Chains A and B, each alone.
Chain A
Amino acid sequence: MAKVLMKGNEAIGAAAIKAGCKFFFGYPITPQSELPEYMAREMPKAGATFLQAESEVAAINMVYGAAGAGARVMTSSSSPGISLKQEGISYIAGSELPCLIVNIIRGGPGLGGIQPAQSDYFQATKGGGHGDYKMVVLAPASVQELTDLMMEGFDIADQYRNPVMIIGDGMLGQMMEPVELREPQKRNLPPKDWATTGTGGRGHTNVINSLFIDPAECEKHNLRLKAKFDEMEKNEKKYEIFNCDNPDLIAVAYGTTARIVKTVIDKCKEEGINVGLIRPISLWPFPYEVFEEYADKTKAFLSVEMSLGQMVEDVKLGVNGKKPVHFYGRTGGMVPVPDDIVAEIKKILGGAK
């Protein structure tokens, strides 16, 4: 297929349909409303169902139901709407069901604003909902990567029977770039023999449930989930290493912010400062080991985020005290400006070079 120009929000929709997503349940919210708009127009043409639910809570529970019946299903929202969905996400993880959830993050807390942010990192990677669960969280930095990870995300969800979250910010949702819809690398996906599609003479009834009244049973269930999360940690780490050949400083950034940092790297180069970038693509599982490895090759780290400092905690865990870890962030919908980041880097390096 030839490249076409798509906005992030449309590309999410096109990739989902191409990946065989049969149901979209959602509720509009800026800055991702073009996605439900796109789905409302395009899903019926693909023999799939778009349904605007009466609320985010309803939407995520519809996802729970459709996933339980074995369908490829997704929902999307932006920050406040994703908060409303947390209970459902926990139930879906507890019931071991695959689905894909998109969060196009806007400034918070509360109603916040409609401009881009990355301040839902904690919510996405450290729980969000209740209970001992994890989910793979992927953070693309371009519209092409967004489509690639959407298609792979459905497969990851099916492989582990667990929700997968794609996060972007409003900027990624609205930016337009050339894209090509490409099939992900083939995974061996288990049959959905647990789905509630009728017994069909099978002799037993499939039940979708996350209720375990006996604490010993509930613990056993949790340990089984843990084994699955360990597998994800082993298999699903993704990251990009850029210009990290003995740099003076390594910047750490994901999504849109990583794009800005690449411009910063060029600007620093002009001034004789060598800056590298580690770009986590999977925010969970977080690629901790990479930081420990690169800590020997640089003087300091700088986490750049559109938040007041969330991923920086994971960077510190990864660097493990070997080198100083600094933070620079803008929040509430403000996008970092390359020159300000350059100034921050100079301050950290103390004019040493």
Chain B
Amino acid sequence: MQQDKRIRIITGHYGSGKTEFSVNYVIRLAKSGKKAAIADLDIVNPYFRSREEKGRMERIGIRVVAPEGKFINADVPALPADIYTLLQDESYQAVLDVGGDAAGARALGRYYDHLKDVDYDMFIVINANRPNTGSPQAAIEYIEEIERAARIRATGLINNTHMLRDTTLEDVLRGQRVVEEVSRQKNMPVKYICAIERIAGQIPEGLTGEVFPVKMYMRPDWL
């Protein structure tokens, strides 16, 4: 995590778990003592966005860049201006949580002139239990669509294959096979293997990528 570039852009298929990963990641950054920030760039989906956890993140000192107050649920593709702060102020370790699919990644295209000159990683989150990214080929198609819309290249993969609270080790390992094949074909490293804490401890050694235990911050208890 400390080796990742200063700007971490999190993208992927709609519903792949980008926001859950982003929130977990930035919380861990902050807890490791970094000056951490997250920007909610999701302009396509009005539910389950990182801005909903603003309070939790701000309490531990994370700067949350998202539409303000009454605009939080505005159904318009507007992005706050202070995203530029995160891109330009090198004292921040930043996470950009991008909307799903190419439609969501289009928001990144707007920052092309700034991103092309800064140190960034763009990670693609893959959940092989989602019907449209269940095979390496299907996942690669999504990655290429996202790269075209974002106008920048992805630099790493995240295996986030799960079945919510019913996730088994087998889910994670099956996803790992898909993601490792994508890694081979796209010549792009697997950076993280996500799993809920109960499963994370069971993941065997020797897989490519760092095991990343996640908490389900975005899912209400009753769901």
Contacts and interface: CB of A to CB of B under 8 A. Distances in A.
A176 interface: yes
B222 A34 contact: no
Interface string A252-276: 0000000110110000000000000
A223 interface: no
Interface residues of B, number: 21
Interface stretch (B45-53, B87-95, B151-159): B45-53
A5 B166 contact: no
A7 B131 CA distance: 11
With most chain A CB atoms within 10 A of its CB, the pick from B73, B130, B131, B162 is: B131
B129 interface: yes
A26 interface: no
Nearest to A335: B220
B15 interface: yes
B15 A5 contact: yes
B14 A6 contact: no
B40 to A, nearest CB: 16
A247 interface: no
Interface in B104-150: 127, 129-131, 134
Contacts of B68: none
A280 interface: no
Nearest to B162: A5
A20 interface: no
Nearest to A142: B223
A330 B221 CA distance: 18
Contacts of A333: 73
B130 A174 contact: no
Contacts of B162: 5
A14 interface: yes
Interface residues of A, number: 28
Contact of A5 (B48, B75, B129): B129
Interface in B3-27: 14-15
A188 B134 CA distance: 36
A329 interface: no
Given A4-B130, A5-B164, A177-B164, A34 B223 contact: no
Contact of B127 (A3, A5, A175): A5
Contact of A262 (B46, B75, B163, B222): B222
* Top 6 A-B pairs, shortest CB-CB distance: A174-B47, A263-B222, A4-B131, A5-B129, A114-B46, A260-B222
Interface of B: 14-15, 45-48, 73, 75, 103, 127, 129-131, 134, 162-164, 166, 221-223
Interface of A: 3-7, 10, 14, 30-31, 34, 37, 113-115, 170-171, 173-178, 259-260, 262-263, 333, 338
24 contacts: A3-B163, A4-B129, A4-B131, A5-B15, A5-B127, A5-B131, A5-B163, A5-B164, A6-B15, A6-B130, A30-B46, A30-B75, A31-B46, A34-B14, A114-B73, A114-B75, A115-B47, A171-B47, A174-B46, A177-B164, A178-B164, A262-B222, A263-B221, A338-B222
